[in-house]
Amino acid sequence: MHELSICQSMLEIVEKTMVEHPNATLERIFLDIGRGSTVESTLLSEAFEVITSGGPYEGVELVINDIPIAGRCRSCERDFTYEEFALGCPSCGSTDIEIHSGLELDIKHLEINED
């Protein structure tokens, strides 16, 4: 359960970004979280609520873009997506595959209110 420390790291980036917008209110934080990133979206949202409770970011919405594991089979050259890590290409069964996405743990952008 490292979602709390992931949340702390995320908030450090948010705080640094918000310094440049001192009169704005933070409304939403947009994240890309890959299925293979070891971070669980529900736990991350819960951790975020706990960590922001009573502070300036209480009530801020966490918008998580849940990214499946996607790759390409080097044998049959088909692209595929997985909900979770799996063994081999879903089309031909080959184990000669490469993973392109699904490991993301990124903060993409913020939505702020400047009035």
Partner 1 sequence: MSKVNVEKKILSENDRVAIENRQRFSDAGALVFNIISSPGSGKTTLLEATLDRLADRTKILVIEGDVSTERDMDRVRAHGADGIQINTGGGCHLSAKMIRDVLGELALEAADIVFIENVGNLICPSTYDLGEDIRMVLLSTAEGDDKPMKYPSIFHEAELAIITKIDLLPYLEFDVEKVGTEIGVLNPECEVLELSALKGEGMDVWIEWIRKRLEMKRAACSAAGE
Where on the chain is the footprint of partner 1 (CB under 8 A)? 1-2, 5-6, 9-10, 12-14, 17, 21, 24, 27, 31, 36-39, 84-85, 87-88, 95-97, 99, 103, 105-114
* Helix (H) or strand (E) segment spanning residue 28: strand 25-34
Residue whose CB is less far from partner 1, 12 or 79: 12
> What minimum distance in Å lies between the beta carbon of 79 and partner 1?
18
| DSSP state for residue 38 in the 8-state scheme | S
> What minimum distance in Å lies between the beta carbon of 49 and partner 1?
17
> What minimum distance in Å lies between the beta carbon of 30 and partner 1?
8
4 and 47 in contact (C-beta within 8 Å)?
yes
Phi, psi of 37 (to 5 degrees): -90, -5
63 and 52 in contact (C-beta within 8 Å)?
no
